[in-house]
Amino acid sequence: MAVTFRQAQRKDVGVILQMIRALAAYERLQDQVTATEAVLEEWLFDKKKARVLFAMVEGREAGFAVYFYNFSTFLGRAGIYLEDLFVLPEFRGRGIGGAILKRLAGIALEEGCGRLEWTCLDWNEPSIRFYLSRGARPMSDWTNYRVEGEALRKLAQE
């Protein structure tokens, strides 16, 4: 089974949203999906704030990665932040997730990036084992913080 890759295009917003919904179902977070095709089109293709890479098998989107560039002040260069990596259930166990991660690492090196990083839900043992087997290591000295919704509005007004 050959896996190929292609960057998402504007015409793919419907497929992207389907993948997002499938990912949310897997993570038991369906109620948190508020993205629409219009929102995705604006933020991915008009504002260009993130990229979507499809893993293709026999002409079909088998999985995807959503990523964007961050910046390391210590390295003095950009890195790639992998927001989500997802493989459709019927394609799992065929090495597609590893192929996606390998392709993203290649993109990072081709573009001179200093790192590739992501977060993973604590309960997601299959993904944690997968990432560890690929040489990833958890950042035990760091804790992610988030401000959103009403807290974000309040912080902006302080």
The answer to whether residue 131 is catalytic is yes
Amino acid in position 53: L
Q: How far apart, in whole angstroms, are the C-alpha atoms of residue 25 and residue 6? A: 24
94: DSSP letter:
S
Residue whose pair of structure tokens reads 């997802």 in the numeric block: 86
DSSP assignment of 23-36 equals HHHHTT-GGG----
Residues paired with residue 85 on neighbouring β-strands, in sequence order: 65
Which residue of the set 67, 69, 81, 131 is catalytic?
Answer: 131
Q: How far apart, in whole angstroms, are the C-alpha atoms of residue 87 and residue 135? A: 20
Active-site positions? 131
